[in-house]
Amino acid sequence: MKSTPFTQKHIALGAKMAEFAGYNMPISYSGINDEHAAVRKNAGVFDVSHMGEFILKGENALDLIQRVTSNDASKITDGQAQYSCLPNLDGGIVDDLIVYCIEKDKVYMLVVNASNIEKDWNWISSFNTKGVDMENISDKTCLLAIQGPNACKILQPLAEVDIMNLKYYTFVKGKFAGIDNVVISATGYTGSGGVEIYFEDKDGAADKIWDAIFEIGAAHGIKPIGLGARDTLRLEMGYCLYGNDINDTTSPLEAGLSWITKFTKEFTNSAYLANQKANGVTKKLVGFEMLERGIPRHDYIIKDAAGNEIGKVTSGTQAPSLSKAVGLGYVAAAFSSVDSEIYIDIRNTLVKAKVVKIPFV
């Protein structure tokens, strides 16, 4: 298993550790519900250094990004980021990612999922026919997500740039905790505000930044947070998790990601997706809440009142903020409207649920 520069910190703090995407990662410290509440109400720190980062440089960098991603990256300029996905040739998704514009038309950073680093690198490289300079900086890049409504207020004294007024999906680069060239981005996977910070671990930068965050955050109750709460937080927001809610067989339109699928340009398999948009999809990713006792789990079958299979659960949990069980799943389009009655097959018992709008919170 690989380690991040913070792995020993997690172990010393007594974190429950487990393998994730080939890395030894913290799943929880004080407990998922406690950590979840800390982020929703205050602030928490996630080590997500296992994520992948690629730098694309050169006069054809934007052209390459435009050809492989579904969103329109020409719309973002220096200091802006954009959520997007990499469509494949079969109507599915290679991965979802964030595109950071460092220098318009010339320098971009792509942030991809940890489990897909090699897959994404090979996929993008296969379209690099115009000599774009590509560098995989994943192994030398640290990423901490400091999330929650009080995160920026707590961190501002450590930053020599204004982070209190960062607009959503924008970023700045500057000195943080005495470390130069830290990218501070108003992004995250929790829906509770905060920032994500990217930096290279050289000359002890990882230890310095981690220690500085927890030293200044001690008086404010900042907590380390594991991947367990990261999952419940993102699920309450209805955010897709690659490998669960989206994958190589699910189209962005089926997944409710038409808002990042722009047909103002040509991109990988755009003609297929445009045709799918024109004709409609046969299944849709929906959010649902349980009306009866039971927790939906990944791959549980979704049925109608007569017991006919109409879909499958992709993610589910007992939502800590709501004290009720919720989930995401694909259902036949006829059952995708809000308030549609569906049933989750839990150990051969049909448990009633209904389709609801997302986010759940």
C-alpha of 170 from chain center: 16
CB atoms within 10 A of CB 152: 21
Homologous superfamily of 7-49+139-236: Probable tRNA modification gtpase trme; domain 1 (3.30.1360.120)
Whose tokens are 């974190």? That residue is: 15
Residues 211-228 have pLDDT tens digits of 999 999 999 999 999 999
Q: Quick check: do 7-49+139-236 and 53-136 share a fold?
A: no
**Torsional class of 243: left (φ above 0), alpha (ψ -120 to 50), beta (otherwise):** left
Tokens of 264: 């103002």
Residues 104-127 have pLDDT tens digits of 999 999 999 999 999 999 999 999
- Domain 53-136: CATH architecture, name and number where available: 2-Layer Sandwich (3.30)
CB atoms within 10 A of CB 244: 16
- Predicted confidence at residue 327, as pLDDT, reads 98
Longest Cα–Cα distance in the chain: 64
List the domain boundaries for the chain.
7-49+139-236, 53-136, 282-356
Closest CA to 84 of 329, 287, 258: 258
Whose tokens are 């929906």? That residue is: 286
In angstroms, the CA 151 to CA 344 distance is 37
C-alpha of 156 from chain center: 24
- Predicted confidence at residue 170, as pLDDT, reads 98
- Domain 282-356: CATH architecture, name and number where available: Beta Barrel (2.40)
Tokens of 9: 């910190």
- Predicted confidence at residue 313, as pLDDT, reads 99
C-alpha of 246 from chain center: 12
Burial 231-241 (b: 16+ CB within 10 A, else e): bbbbbbbbbbb
Please state the rounded mean pLDDT for residues 332-345. Answer: 98
Tokens of 95: 């991965």
Closest CA to 280 of 330, 342, 334: 334
- Predicted confidence at residue 245, as pLDDT, reads 98
Residues 66-76 have pLDDT tens digits of 999 999 999 99
Predicted confidence band of residue 151 (pLDDT cuts 50, 70, 90): very high
- Predicted confidence at residue 310, as pLDDT, reads 98
Reported pTM? 0.97
Residues 128-150 have pLDDT tens digits of 999 999 999 999 999 999 999 99
- DSSP letter, residue 73: G
**AA identity, residue 171:** F
Whose tokens are 């930096």? That residue is: 199
- Predicted confidence at residue 87, as pLDDT, reads 98
